[in-house]
Amino acid sequence: MDILRPATLSDIPFLWYLRNRPYVREVSRNSAPISWEEHVEWALPVVLGLTEKRLFVVETSGIPAGQLRFDMLGGGKAEVSAAILQEFQGRGLAKKALKEGMRKMKRQKVSEILATIHRDNTASQGLFEKLGFQKNARQKGPWLEYAVLMR
């Protein structure tokens, strides 16, 4: 059984591990490794609900397999970021998590979700397109911008 649940304090080590996987870093806007101290400084306020970020853990059969994050931008917009451990990729888990995350954001009155995807990350591009995201014409270096209007 797969689940998308809010991240808790006990998830901080898993999220740090996931963030520092080389295959996650290579398609992240900040591709440098993150120290434990930097991670805790970022993650603590997020999991405590003190920021405009909504962070979820993707689980399958009770095992953490990935994360989904929405940065609330104001004006009914949010930007999504996702990562799945390599050993869980190719099982449709990211698609399920993103669909559920989109439902959660709609309940929070988000009307548009944005995604910035590395041009080499064709798997993510395909996933977002299948879920109705449209590629914007503008590009920022190696980054493609996608958006979907919530209906």
- pLDDT of res. 1: 64
- Domain positions in the chain: 2-149
Dist. CA 76–CA 88, nearest whole Å: 32
Q: In what order do the strands lie in the sheet with 112-118?
A: 2-6, 53-60, 63-74, 77-84, 112-118, 143-149, 134-140
List, for residues 63-102, the tens digit of each pLDDT value: 999 999 999 999 999 999 999 999 999 899 999 999 999 9
Segment 117-137 shows an average pLDDT of 91
The confidence band for 146, taking pLDDT boundaries of 50, 70 and 90, is very high
Residue 140 has pLDDT above 90, yes or no: no
Q: 29 — phi, psi (to 5°)?
A: -60, -35
- Rounded to two decimals, what is the model's pTM? 0.92
pLDDT at 133: 95
Superfamily name with CATH number, domain 2-149: Gcn5-related N-acetyltransferase (GNAT) (3.40.630.30)
Q: What is the pLDDT of residues 11-61, one digit of tens each?
A: 999 999 999 999 998 888 888 899 999 999 999 999 999 999 999 999 999
Report the pLDDT value the prediction gives residue 138, as an integer from 0 to 100. 73
Average pLDDT, stretch 107-134? 93
Q: In sequence order, which residues have a C-beta less than 8 Å from that of residue 146 and are 6 or more positions away? A: 114, 115, 116, 117, 125, 128, 129, 133, 134, 135, 136
